[in-house]
Amino acid sequence: MEFMLRDFIITQENMIFSVVSYSHPEDRVIAFLRYFPSSRGDRERDEKKYEKVNSVAHSFKFLEKNFPEYIFKATNLNTKLQAVPLDKIEEHLSPRKRLREIVRAPGDELEEDIKKLSSLFSGIPLENKGVTGSVLVGLHTNTSDIDFVIYGIKEHSKARRRLKELLGSGEVRDLSREEWLRAYKKRFPSEAELSFEEFLFYERRKYHKGVFGSRIFDLLMVHGQEIKPGLWENMKFRRLSKYMLKAEVVDSSLAFDYPAVYKISCSNSKIKEVVSFTHTYAGQAFEGEKIVAEGYLEEVIPEGHLRLVVGTTREAAGEYIKLDKT
């Protein structure tokens, strides 16, 4: 069974996880907790109430206390992750399959809008589209956002160009300043590495977010067969130290992937890429642009080259990618 980025998993304990990697250990799937059964929950699925995880720290605390078997010590990465053991999986949910179901027979107003939104991107084959998030697991409400998935690097680029056209024609609108501000406060709940005006500048040029009717939607990328996932055991990194660099982006084809990857050229020839694990810095810069970035330097083993990692926490305090305007 193949588990792809942005798929969801329901466990035997009815916890709901989102797959966050293309590569996995043999006996488990790298995924993070998104929803768990709770009498305090405000969403319902199969007559069970669910609570949404409000932060990565919250999810780790919940699992460590109640289900420690879902905490995985990734020795090759020298870190602690969340992962679902294969023998604990009750159901595997696919964004592609869910969108096909919605297109065939939408079940509510939100699903009707998803069907219409999909038709606006008719240049993207149905097999290259999907829907993830709360809609995938049936925990959406009438005010939920739409997490639209585009499979394939070229198809995602095409979808972003199409969104630019739709914004120009008025079929889709840009987020209002108030809606962008809510997004900004969600990304930066406390200390902010970007001012709101900086955030607005970067987000508006990405063409990965819009409003259809009254619903905010995202265009999320999952790369397809263009890149073969590496073996989990071959993924080895050694963290070195905090580091700031200036560089030119030489390849941004995976800038909207997870993690976002920017191939770079800089004064330290051993540093080959900047990698971001926070969505804030996905699509932040494009080929030919000069950037300044701060994060943690890591050695890629056994190749020996270095990478700069931004977003070692969701909040990414003290870590950023910006255009170099000097």
Write the secondary structure of the chain as one string of H (helix), E (strand) and C (coil).
CCCCCCCEEEECCCCEEEECCCCCCCCEEEEEEEEEECCCCCEEECCEEEEECCCHHHHHHHHHHHCHHHEEEECCCCEEEEEEEHHHEEEEECHHHHHHHHHHCCCCHHHHHHHHHHHHCCCCCHHHEEEECHHHHCCCCCCCCEEEEEECHHHHHHHHHHHHHHHHHCCCECCCHHHHHHHHHHHCCCCCCCCHHHHHHHHHCCCCEEEECCEEEEEEEECCCCCCCCCHHHCEEEEEEEEEEEEEEEEEEECCCCCEEEEEEECCCCEEEEEECCHHHCCCCCCCCEEEEEEEEEEEECCCCEEEEECCCCCCCCCEEEECCC
Whether pTM > 0.85 for this model: the answer is yes
Q: Can you name the CATH fold of 235-323?
A: OB fold (Dihydrolipoamide Acetyltransferase, E2P) (2.40.50)
pLDDT of 228 = 79
Statement: residue 314 has pLDDT above 80: no
| Residue ranges of the chain assigned to CATH 2.40.50 | 235-323
Statement: residue 195 has pLDDT above 80: yes
Could you tell me which residue, 133 or 312, shows the higher pLDDT? 133
Q: How confident is the model at residue 189 (pLDDT cuts 50, 70, 90)?
A: confident
pLDDT per position as a tens digit, 15-61: 999 999 999 999 999 999 999 999 999 999 988 999 999 888 899 99
pLDDT of 313 = 67
Q: What is the mean pLDDT of residues 164-191?
A: 93
Could you tell me which residue, 25 or 233, shows the higher pLDDT? 25
